[in-house]
Structure 1
């Protein structure tokens, strides 16, 4: 039996590297997923085993769809600070999204905006998406700010997994966004 191996690209921004998942990411991701503030709008906290399974879902998404969320790391020291990228698990919503989350110590520094901009560039340039969305809880003011900074506009509401009410924030299409990535 052959396994599917997908080469996950590396995206670089001014301060970040978005890359494939590694076993060494478990500790920082377990800490992030254990933090109520970091996971309030992302389904709640996970224990270490749950954090590992979430990372495995991100890595497996690449094998099943050919694209998925990246590990977000700091360029200066390689520290893993969160996740960001295209995401479309079975049963979530009507269209794929750009999902992201960062450890609370890295909130408010522009890292989310930088990571989402790179993920949008990847979705537009590599995946051929004409448009992209993020599903955001109306009380998640930080993520609403990221969406607005990147030119997204509210485009209705939907239910994630059939029960979680969120707003749809649609980013400008590929030509209007000016999204870019660097290899």
Structure 2
């Protein structure tokens, strides 16, 4: 009896195996099958335990990648009245991703700027931007954005990350800002 995982193959009758081998070789001689005659040794039957090992290794690699992929959310309380911005850390190292979140009314378009220049935070497909004259604008879902990623600005020192409210006529007004300090630029 064999198990589901292929551990036990069952008992083979040695007389039956020898008879089958003789018959196979007899037929091979009749048709002059040199390949079968050269390969007259019984094949080595190996288990498929390595298959389970490979499957387990792939599953562990996928779980390890998925577990380390996303960092925790930037803490901010949803506020549907007052716009605000929160960063994961106000002191960042050059070359690392800057993580931030926005909150505010969800019926307003917002433009995020870094040192006065419009930027686009990346959150995959969870946020969509519309191109405007002021820069890429986003709308919040349920008064809160997902954690957005942005390249750390070049140059050591303080940098301002600001949120601008975009009016229907295309004008902007700053509604929230935070200062972050960059270090480690070479």
What is the TM-score normalised by the length of structure 2?
0.25
**Between structures 1 and 2, the one with greater helix share:** 1
* Structure with the greater alpha carbon radius of gyration: 2
Structure whose residues are more often strand by fraction? 2
Query: TM-score, length-normalised on structure 1?
Result: 0.25
